[in-house]
Amino acid sequence: MTVPSEVPIVRKALSRMEDRISFLYVERAVVNRDGNSLTVSDRRGVAHVPATQLAALLLGPGTKVTYAAMALLGDSGCSVVWVGEKGIRFYAAGRPPAKSSRMAEIHASVFSNQRRRLDCARKMYELRFPNEDVSTLTMSQLRGREGARMKKIYAEEAARTNVYWNRRSYDPQDFESSDPINQALTSGSAALYGVAHAVISALGFVPSLGIVHTGTDRSFVYDIADLYKAEVSIPAAFDALSAEMGSPSTNVRRNIRDRVVKERIMQRMVRDLKYLFDVDDEYLISDVELMLWSELEVISSGVNWSEDEITP
């Protein structure tokens, strides 16, 4: 039986996004609520999860979630994402915890200005090449540099783990058609995308407004996740395959979970997003007042602005 909480959750008391557990993947289980704790039940028993400490809940096949659980997750500011088997596909997401339009407005202003968008893209590549000056490189030059970097990383990881490597190849419509290492890389990328999507949504940025990538509802998710693949999802995938025990797809998610915590990836995502868009902590406050837009200023909503009294 679901036991609701007698004390409502105060949003200002919730954990900051950078301090939360990265993500929890659940499949073939029932997600419910016990007070202010999330419960996950399957044939092995019941596990309690602190919803207020969770950044993203990934719901896989065979999962049932109750109304009470969704209410708790919403109050807790936890992103909920419905995914395919092994976390490969992204199907839908619940309302993000951000309740302010500040970041979306800043994001849109950068996205819609070619000069500012190029500056932001260069900052992204600057994070990948910290000891080099990329301030004058074109997007074409930056893409070429990044392609060479990724080829080198794949080769180094293959040599480190003694895993056979040919090239990155996968079919989004047929997961099983790839070789084992490419399956592990795809699984790892999907998990990292979930973490990036949770942080982006939590802070109020727009997942579809990519700076480097464009054209899909998750373009910006790919932008941010790409900043950390070289140290998170790629080595996690090669380590999972070299272990030669258990399921590589399962092992890679566990490896990523551990790396996200060890390398403080969520904290770094928050820091890097603030750097990319040149915003301070004060802009990340989620409690704001609803206003009305005017040509020169914003004005209060919930006010009758008619100058004349209307007689019925």
In contact, 237 and 190? CB cutoff 8 Å? no
Extract the tokens encoding 238.
């090669």
Which of 65, 58, 63 minimizes the C-alpha distance to 90? 58
Extract the tokens encoding 67.
């109304």
Extract the tokens encoding 83.
């995914």
Q: 247 in the Ramachandran plot: left (φ > 0), alpha (ψ -120 to 50) or beta?
A: beta
Give the whole-angstrom CA distance, residue 183 versus residue 179.
Answer: 6
Give the whole-angstrom CA distance, residue 63 versus residue 55.
Answer: 19
Sheet holding 21-26, edge to edge: 21-26, 54-59, 79-83, 90-93
Extract the tokens encoding 166.
């040919």
* 213 in a known ligand binding site: yes
* 226 in a known ligand binding site: yes
Give the whole-angstrom CA distance, residue 230 versus residue 234.
Answer: 6
* 146 in a known ligand binding site: yes
DSSP 3-state assignment of 53?
Answer: helix
Extract the tokens encoding 221.
């998710």
In contact, 102 and 203? CB cutoff 8 Å? no
Extract the tokens encoding 155.
């080769």
User: Residue 122: CA atoms inside 13 Å, Cβ hemisphere, count?
Assistant: 14
Residue by residue, what is the 3-state secondary structure of 198-212?
HHHHHHCCCCCCCCC
Which residues does the annotation place in the binding site? 146, 213, 226
Which residues does the annotation place in the binding site for Mn(2+)? 146, 213, 226
